[in-house]
Chains A and B, each alone.
Chain A
Amino acid sequence: MTLTRFVTKSAFRNKRRSVLTVVSITFSLVLLTLMMTVWHSWYIDKGSTEAAQRLITRHRVSLTQSLPEYYREKMRTVPGVVAVAPTQWFGGLYKDEKPENFFAQFGTDPNEIFKVATDFKIPDNQLVAWQKDQAGAVVDSELAKKFGWKIGDRIIIKGTIFPVNLELNIRGIFTAPQPTITVYFNLKYLQEAVAYFKGHSGTFNILADSPDDVPKVAAGIDAMFRNSPEPTKTESEKAFQLSFINSIGNVKAFILSICLAVVFATLLVSANTMAMSIRERTREVAVLKTLGFTRQSILGLYVSEAVTVTLVGGILGCLLAVGLIAAIKQVPGMGFFFLGMKVTWSTYVLAILISGMVGLVSAIFPAYHAAKVDIVDGLRHIG
């Protein structure tokens, strides 16, 4: 029998206990992986290169103030700006107020939006059809699938911010690298229907010529309008999206404290199991010693045993987390926060590493005690 086989055999010698421990650790690791994935996609992931090249400009005072539309032509003169498209959040209701019927509607310029969102794909003939129909709209392919929309369908969106209901003809279906749950329509339609909104846009989406130019472009645009009656605030697309997440509260502290609680709970579970398992085998330790195993090797054997158990839990946890994240995306009203979220390799590695570390730490104390046992006492032990 090799040492590895000895370790795996001992790790699962009490099947029920090992299975219970593994399941317990699996559940904790699911949570840990989930939290780390959320953290990664919100705070670490910079997005695709195309997304990293985009900026969003809004009114300095707040998102609810709109900007004059002529700012767009001025922004084009800022060095590094490639394309600018106005965007206006419509915030309307489709069918009813239920969260499963929620999606974003933006009024924009059909001639330029896809020049800004360079990673969005739409067939040319559909784009042209949209540009020709002022009451036309293009929809995200995932959204079209969800509601069963086809080209030529008419959808009615009830206004809440604006005193108008939109009657839109679906002219095209676009695909984005990540689902966006967005419908784009022509901003002119909105401006003509709502007199006071003529010549306005809530935000502008901008494409810079490289990700490195983004800070320069942002500073350039804001400097241009600093002393005008409608000052602007320009930030990268990612920073803009994060500002919504940050509004939920101190999310970072929230995630971190849950992670800490989970790791500590896992540690307790694993330590508990190891303590029980090693105590039962006091006599076995004495026998091993008699056979000539040194203290260090006995310590090593028990520690690797614990690490084996927690690693199995860790791997299972990672796998389950993938399924869980896929399930959360389907929950109405939650999808918006989890759009495009997936478990990355670095998260897998980190989660498994943490589970291994937990096993290591949890076993050291009981294993050290076992290794110290006097041979004669150990052999005499009744347990």
Chain B
Amino acid sequence: MAIPISYNIRNLKLRKGLTIMTALGIALTVTTAVFLMALLAGLQKAFVSSGDPLNVLVMRKGSTAELSGGFDASLFPILKTLPGIATDKEGQPLASGEWVVVAVLPRKDRTGEVNVSVRGLMPAGVALRADEKDSRGQPKLKLIDGRWFATGQREVVVGKSIHDRFSGTQVGDNLDFAKGQWKVVGIFDSGGTAYDSEIWGDFNQVAADFDRQGGLGSAYLRATDPVSADALKNRVSDDQRLKLEGHLETEYYEKQTSSGGAIKYIGFLVAIIMAVGSSFAAMNTMYAAVAYRAREIATLRVIGFSRPSILTSFVLEALLLSLLGAVVGIVLMLPFNGMSTGIGNQVTFSETVFSLQMTWSVVITAIAFALVMGLLGGFFPAWSAARQEILASLRG
């Protein structure tokens, strides 16, 4: 027969101080783990949701990032006329030659300077991205304020994260980078993707300011459907004359998530070390609980509760304790949900902004993590409780 769970709950209540302190210890570990997991989840979101399966990114062969690309502008007309490229209303192919360069902007809070990606695009560049839909069929790219930049003007539109993190990024402000002033004419939102951390301007203006005339950093081609996207990608890569390589935009961004590698590794290490520490603390508490109730346990045995049911009961008590810790830990982290931070991207050399995302999977993993701690901490004390000699304990 199983011992009712209310017995364990009452016991935890009885030893309030001990329960609270142990649960708080577990809570701290859970908080740290949740923080790190939310960080990674946010990072994942910023990169994985960036890119569209229909966009083919063309770079020089061997180049691993848009920043380190660069090929002759004379190749662009060839790319533009490849079969399978979608067209706009006027029948023009949705193909854009681009440059991604890096500019330095001071942080809003004056804690130093940050590298920011500046992208020069052809008019089709905005059009082909405006064509992207998210999972609910809504366009990913939206203008929140102002208008798009005009061709041939020193005008820029800034991503939402840039607008939030840097001063002088209101519509009508002037931004100072490269060879002079750029007028901010709009603010765009790309739905939390990596584009939100970019500044967009006219292709020729950006190329001229960064001394990149006569070439292209990369080219974006919008395919009509997933099959032609694949075909386009292979066609570009296989053409020996071009010496170019096509990538699906989604694959390209997936690779960039590796910037989180260091955080992932450190986070894992920190969480494991803290978890070991907390399980030992939980073990201590449970051993004390067992020692304290030696006579009670013996009485339970006399009444007829079996060894396995005592073992289960104490393990359950430890699990309850850790569950309490997990709940407290998660609640402690809630205010930080959605908080945004920047990470230097080792591929683009500039900052990508992302926010802490306490997704359901993060929460569930955190609870599982706490339960494992409880199990580790509770099993041995429960084992010793179940094995107690009835007579010796009763005599206690």
CB of A261 within 8 Å of the partner chain: yes
Q: Which of B150-158, B225-233, B308-316, B336-344 contacts A (4 or more CB under 8 A)?
A: B336-344
A246 contacts which chain B residues (CB < 8 A)?
Answer: 112, 344
CB of A158 within 8 Å of the partner chain: yes
Using C-beta atoms within 8 Å of the partner chain, give the interface range for chain B: 35 or more
Do A63 and B102 touch across chains, with their CB atoms under 8 A apart? yes
Do B343 and A249 touch across chains, with their CB atoms under 8 A apart? yes
Using C-beta atoms within 8 Å of the partner chain, give the interface range for chain A: 35 or more
CB of B327 within 8 Å of the partner chain: no
A interface secondary structure, majority? helix
CB of B278 within 8 Å of the partner chain: yes
| Residue interface bits B256-292, CB-to-A below 8 A is 1, else 0 | 0000011101000110011011101101110110000
Q: Give B267 Cβ to nearest chain A Cβ, in Å.
A: 10
Question: Which among A21, A27, A247, A334 is the interface contact of B284 at CB below 8 angstroms?
Answer: A21
| Residue interface bits A262-280, CB-to-B below 8 A is 1, else 0 | 1011101101110110000
How far, in angstroms, from A65 to B25 measured CA to CA in the complex? 50
Q: From A60, which residue of chain B is reached at the shortest CB distance? A: B104
Q: Which of B58-66, B84-92, B246-254 contacts A (4 or more CB under 8 A)?
A: B58-66
Q: Give A305 Cβ to nearest chain B Cβ, in Å.
A: 16
Q: Which B residues, 351 to 368, have Cβ-Cβ distances below 8 Å to chain A?
A: 351
Do A64 and B102 touch across chains, with their CB atoms under 8 A apart? yes
Known A-B contacts A27-B273, A27-B277, A247-B344; the reply to A65 vs B262 at CB < 8 A is: no
A1 contacts which chain B residues (CB < 8 A)?
Answer: none
Question: Which among A21, A261, A272 is the interface contact of B28 at CB below 8 angstroms?
Answer: A261
Which of A158, A246, A266, A328 is the most central at the interface, judged by chain B CB atoms within 10 Å of its CB?
A: A246
Do A334 and B31 touch across chains, with their CB atoms under 8 A apart? no
Do B342 and A258 touch across chains, with their CB atoms under 8 A apart? no
Do A268 and B25 touch across chains, with their CB atoms under 8 A apart? yes
B280 contacts which chain A residues (CB < 8 A)?
Answer: 20-21, 23-24, 27, 269
Do B351 and A269 touch across chains, with their CB atoms under 8 A apart? no
Do B344 and A244 touch across chains, with their CB atoms under 8 A apart? yes
B18 contacts which chain A residues (CB < 8 A)?
Answer: 272, 275-276
Q: Give B256 Cβ to nearest chain A Cβ, in Å.
A: 13
Do B273 and A265 touch across chains, with their CB atoms under 8 A apart? no
CB of B174 within 8 Å of the partner chain: no
Question: Which among A64, A248, A271 is the interface contact of B343 at CB below 8 angstroms?
Answer: A248
Do B62 and A163 touch across chains, with their CB atoms under 8 A apart? yes
CB of A5 within 8 Å of the partner chain: no
| Residue interface bits A311-352, CB-to-B below 8 A is 1, else 0 | 000000000000000001001011001000000000000000
CB of B21 within 8 Å of the partner chain: yes
CB of B44 within 8 Å of the partner chain: no
Do A62 and B25 touch across chains, with their CB atoms under 8 A apart? no
A337 contacts which chain B residues (CB < 8 A)?
Answer: 262
How far, in angstroms, from A17 to B283 measured CA to CA in the complex? 9
CB of B328 within 8 Å of the partner chain: no
Q: From A17, which residue of chain B is reached at the shortest CB distance? A: B284
A163 contacts which chain B residues (CB < 8 A)?
Answer: 60-62, 243
| Residue interface bits B320-348, CB-to-A below 8 A is 1, else 0 | 00000000000000000000011110000
CB of B22 within 8 Å of the partner chain: yes
Q: From A266, which residue of chain B is reached at the shortest CB distance? A: B277
CB of A91 within 8 Å of the partner chain: yes
Using a Cβ cutoff of 8 Å, how many contacts connect chains A and B?
140
Do A272 and B25 touch across chains, with their CB atoms under 8 A apart? yes
Do B284 and A20 touch across chains, with their CB atoms under 8 A apart? yes
A21 contacts which chain B residues (CB < 8 A)?
Answer: 280-281, 284
Do A269 and B277 touch across chains, with their CB atoms under 8 A apart? yes
Do A334 and B288 touch across chains, with their CB atoms under 8 A apart? no
Q: Which B residues, 194 to 219, have Cβ-Cβ distances below 8 Å to chain A?
A: 210-211
CB of A31 within 8 Å of the partner chain: yes
Q: From A250, which residue of chain B is reached at the shortest CB distance? A: B341
Q: Give A150 Cβ to nearest chain B Cβ, in Å.
A: 28
Do B31 and A64 touch across chains, with their CB atoms under 8 A apart? no
B263 contacts which chain A residues (CB < 8 A)?
Answer: 248
Known A-B contacts A91-B68, A248-B344; the reply to A268 vs B281 at CB < 8 A is: yes
How far, in angstroms, from A99 to B64 measured CA to CA in the complex? 14
CB of B37 within 8 Å of the partner chain: no
Do B104 and A334 touch across chains, with their CB atoms under 8 A apart? no
CB of B182 within 8 Å of the partner chain: no
CB of B29 within 8 Å of the partner chain: yes
Question: Which among B67, B269, B287 is the interface contact of A16 at CB below 8 angstroms?
Answer: B287
Do B281 and A24 touch across chains, with their CB atoms under 8 A apart? yes
Q: Give A279 Cβ to nearest chain B Cβ, in Å.
A: 9
Q: Give B91 Cβ to nearest chain A Cβ, in Å.
A: 35
- 8 more CB-based (< 8 A) A-B contacts, given A63-B349, A163-B243: A23-B280, A246-B344, A247-B114, A250-B341, A257-B35, A262-B274, A275-B18, A333-B265
> A-contacting residues of B (Cβ < 8 Å)?
17-18, 21-22, 24-25, 28-29, 31-32, 35, 60-65, 67-68, 101-104, 112, 114-115, 177-178, 210-211, 243, 261-263, 265, 269-270, 273-274, 276-278, 280-281, 283-285, 287-288, 341-344, 349, 351
Q: Would you list the 9 A-B pairs with minimal beta carbon distance, nearest first?
A: A247-B344, A62-B102, A24-B280, A27-B277, A161-B68, A268-B25, A269-B281, A20-B284, A265-B28
